[in-house]
Copies of this chain bind each other. A is one copy, B any other.
């Protein structure tokens, strides 16, 4: 059987077979978000995560001065999720917003828990996914310390080329930890030097 491509991608894992995938698929519901719509708002309790089939999403937090700092981008075939709130059942301090019209496959907390308890391949997959997520987090922190803004831009270009094309500059800038003007100059430099 043919499943939505983001589900096949995301749940590709040695421990997950066709049958498992079928149960996993059934546990998801298709949902759509319009450009600008909030998928999660600070203060809420996250009750689901979303496999992104199409579109672009960002997460952001507010700095002490009240500025929005983009903390993550999500592209197709990635999981839109706020781990702390979803797994720990705490109100979130982040916002998650669709940057374009989005097509998602949502799985609710309870359905997810069921899969986690009943499909051992899913448990393995979850651990592996979480492991990669934690590592990515740590590497982002390190990158903020050791890399120049230009290098962080180039890395983002490699890992999320779509983001650079679709997201407004100001969101990318706060994600990279620079001002709008600086990012504009970085872009120019990168274009000139032909990276």
Chain A residues with CB under 8 Å of chain B are 61, 63-65, 67, 69, 71, 83-84, 88-90, 93, 127-128, 130-131, 134-135, 137-138, 140-142, 144-146, 174, 177
Beyond the given A88-B131, A140-B141, please list 19 additional residue pairs across the A-B interface where CB-CB is below 8 A: A61-B142, A63-B142, A63-B145, A63-B146, A64-B146, A67-B146, A69-B142, A69-B146, A71-B138, A71-B142, A83-B134, A84-B138, A88-B127, A88-B128, A88-B130, A89-B127, A141-B141, A141-B144, A144-B145
Q: Can you sample 12 A-B contacts with CB below 8 Å?
A: A63-B146, A71-B138, A71-B141, A83-B134, A84-B131, A84-B135, A89-B127, A90-B131, A141-B141, A141-B144, A145-B174, A145-B177
A177 & B144 in contact (Cβ 8 Å cutoff): yes
Task: State the main secondary structure of chain A at its contact with B.
Answer: helix
What copy number does this chain have within its complex?
2
Residue of B nearest to A85 (CB): B131
Are A145 and B93 interface neighbours, CB within 8 A?
A: no
Q: Decide: A144 near B144, CB < 8 A? Known: A88-B127, A131-B90.
A: yes
Q: Are A146 and B88 in contact (CB under 8 A)?
A: no
